[in-house]
Structure 1
Amino acid sequence: MRGTLFGEQIDGYKNVLMYNGEYEIANAPIKPCDEKWKVSASDLNYQMQFGKPAIVEPVDSSQGIIMPEYRNIAQIPKTADPNDKYDIVAVVLFVEAEARRIPRDESRVISVREIMVIDHSTEQPLLISAWNDLAEDECDLLLQKAEQLQVVGFTALKVSPHRGFSMTTTMSTTIVHSADGDKPRALEDWTANHKTKLCHIQARILTLKGLMGNQQSITIAALRMKKAHTTLQDEKYTLQVTIPEPDFQKINAYLGCSSCNKRTDTPVGKSMTCPQCSKPGTKSVPRVTFNCEVSDGTGILPITAFTTDCEKIFNMAAPDIFRMKHSEDLTRFALLKNQLQTSPISIEVAPNTMLSMNNVLHWVLKKVADITEELPQSPTTSATNPNANPSSCGQASSIETSDKDNVETTFTTASDNTTSTPENVNIEKEPDNSTAQTPVQVSKLIQVKIEGSKGKTPDKGTKQTTIPLQDNTLTPNPGSSAA
């Protein structure tokens, strides 16, 4: 059950009610809880309020001040119980400059701010998401001393699957700016002895944050040279690639939920309550995945593209890819195959979330560039070196850009209108503004960001489906990898 403090009670009870303490509480009325203050649907519908008559006494009057039970970052279980909370002490490397505001409903806006920390037990910095009050004044204090590699304690953090493995503050969290005890003192000694290493990591984070929206170009060979212990979870790179051997059999076209993308036997365009995500009002729509290997002349990289990116790769809408697959239109695919082999596309890749989970580096597609997308300048080599020596601790090296000559690239399709539909056939399409079909000018560098595949992998073993399309019917061929 939640207890609620109002106004001056918050400071008044600061040293009375301690996290992990056990208390006997009397004369505290229990009242219905306002729905808008619930954090999750599992919260009880009641709350305890502390008015003037309330009496709070510790069960053990001799327990004194309850000290945090600090753990090393490596000791935090990656698959912890959602209700488990942990105390850590770590070196602060980065604090987001300002809190971001996220509308929760019509009457509430919540604040969140990113903090990056590290300790002696791990090579990967840990992301902590600070929420609401902690994202304001408390983070401002951290930001003021971020350059000093301050050792700070965080209590009552929860494990979050955000970006693979991260932690988030709770209503019980306290940020201890002057952490005391054996572990904080030992970490301070370690920080002093490894200041150069920590400054390099800090500079890489600051440089990376400064490049958000202006990802760096790289070759596949250089990408393969990167190591897990020197790569950050947020790193993203663009590659200029072709697809040397597009395989028709590697196109998987199926009907899926418009919300979660999972397979469904529901006829196309029909509304439903999805049995996978339980969301009402979703529709059955064509979905596509495509497995292939891309090359830039320096190496080969396997990728998996999902619906939005498949539309950009083939320059076709998902219903047309679906139709081409299930009608086995190999003539049309042959024209597309030639285009994929000869016309470079730009893709954005990033580490899989296994990097923050298990320190395993595997590169995945994040996005394929829209051919109408205006591309930012690419930074020079000196600015993109993640191991470049910072001029001083807490300062990122300056970023320079060099102009690139623009060249014209024409993307052609198998027909004048790639979204044409046979007579009397009507597949309801998802609203999408990214399927431009006319030849366009693009920069020599076409940047791409491919969304991660989590939650989008189609289920295996689903039965074949006959799809009524007004007067015509498309039925998956027995030899295809259809829905």
Structure 2
Amino acid sequence: MKPEYKPLKELNDRTLKYKTKVKVIHKSTPQQSSNKPRYQRLLFKDDEGFTMKGALFDSDIEKYAEALECNVEYELLNAMIAAIPPQHASKPNEYSIIINAQEQISLLTIDATALGPQYQALATIPCDPFNTELMDILGVVISVAAPKAIYKSQGIEDSVREIYLTDHSYDHPFTISLWNDVLRTHEEALNSWADSFNVIGVLAVTGRSYKGFTLSSTTSTTIITNLKGEKADALRAWYVH
């Protein structure tokens, strides 16, 4: 008999006993906030296509460094589910799966063809700010804008900085907006990227309406720098010539 898995759309902070099957579709770089524990963000997806955020904290980050891999399916049993505070949520009534040392996690399958970033050519990106699909981008940094502070209601401040990428499929710069924690994590590197025509990978970005259509970082975004390999070398050579 096949196990009865509960879909992510039915899980909330009142759910106590359950079993669900999910794939880790993104895993961010561990980050440190002031006066807060170190954390790492996850994004899970189930067979019905629904997604839910997740998180690891402190020593659990190392514990699950290899035990939770992107594009691998896992069975989760009774993992803690917490409500995301409204100021940090991207939609109403949003929840997060908190993974800690007590969780029961079982490896199910590995999709060997899906391992690693799935880079899209810039010309294939749908220019739809309502498209919430996460995308991986590979491109040459040709310009970096100055950082900006965006002030919202109740004194909340967002930080944003735009980078402009190009690739062989696109005839003008494509804008990617880096927000808040993602921006702060890579702030020191940003000033030097354009000087060397650095090829970077930007993983888990999504469409957003900000001064027109842009791709924007999400809580799962990771930036890969100093890329090597056939695709990166070919893109670098194309741009230089």
| TM-score class normalised by the smaller sequence | 0.5 to 0.7
Alpha-carbon distance in structure 2 between the residues aligned to 1:48 and 1:125: 37
Aligned match of 1:189? 237
C-alpha distance after superposition, 1:382-423 (max 9, x if no partner) = xxxxxxxxxxxxxxxxxxxxxxxxxxxxxxxxxxxxxxxxxx
TM-score w.r.t. length of structure 1: 0.36
Kindly state the Cα deviation for residue 159 of structure 1 after the two structures are TM-superposed.
1.8
Deviations 1:72-100 (A, max 9, x none): 11111223752212111100012234x33
Q: Is the 8 A contact 1:27 1:53 kept in 2?
A: no
Alpha-carbon spacing, 1:33–1:173, altered in 2? closer, same or farther (3 Å): closer
Shift, 1:128, TM fit: 0.5
For 1:10 and 1:39, locate their aligned partners in 2 and report how far apart those are by CA, in whole Å: 24
Equivalence for 2:3:
none
1:3 paired residue number: 54
**Structure-1 separation of matches of 2:219 and 2:212:** 23
Equivalent residue for 1:30, pick from 81, 86, 90: 81
% identical equivalent positions: 31
Q: Which amino acid aligns with 1:92?
A: V
Larger CA Rg, structure 1 vs 2? 1
TM-score (norm 2): 0.67
> The residue matched to 1:174 in structure 2 has which SS?
strand
Change in CA separation of 1:19 and 1:110 when aligned onto 2, cut-off 3 Å: farther
Question: Secondary structure of the residue that 2:221 maps to in structure 1?
Answer: coil
Task: State the aligned residue count.
Answer: 190
> What pairs up with 1:257-296 in 2 under 5 angstroms?
none
**Structure 1 residue runs without a partner (length 5+):** 194-483
In terms of fraction of residues, the more strand-rich structure is 2
**RMSD across aligned positions (CA):** 2.8
8 Å CA contact 2:204, 2:221 repeated in 1: yes
Task: Give the 3-state SS of the residue equivalent to 1:171 in structure 2.
Answer: strand
Matched, 1:109 2:166: no
Q: Distance in 2 between matches of 1:11 and 1:39?
A: 27
1:144 alignment partner, SS class:
helix
Whether contact under 8 Å (1:154, 1:175) holds in the other structure is yes
1:91 aligned residue:
140
3-state SS of 1:22 partner: strand
Aligned counterparts of 1:14 and 1:111: Cα–Cα separation in 2: 29
Instruction: Name the structure, 1 or 2, with higher relative contact order (CA <8 Å, separation 6+).
Output: 2
Residue pairs, 1:352-431, within 5 angstroms: none
Secondary structure at the counterpart of residue 178 of structure 1: coil
1:89 aligns to what SS in structure 2?
strand
Distance 1:84 1:62 in 2: 20
Picking from 59, 65, 68, the partner of 2:117 is: 68
Q: Identify which of 86, 90, 93 aligns with 1:39.
A: 90
In structure 2, stretches of 5+ residues that fail to align are: 1-51
Match of 1:167 among 215, 226, 230: 215
Cα distance between partner residues in 1 of 2:160 and 2:140 = 20
1:70/1:183 contact within 8 Å kept: no
How big is each residue's C-alpha offset from its partner over 1:13-43, in whole Å with a ceiling of 9 and x where there is no partner? 45544454432223421233332321223x5
Aligned to 2:15: none
SS in 2 for 1:60: strand
Query: How much does 1:136 deviate?
Result: 1.4
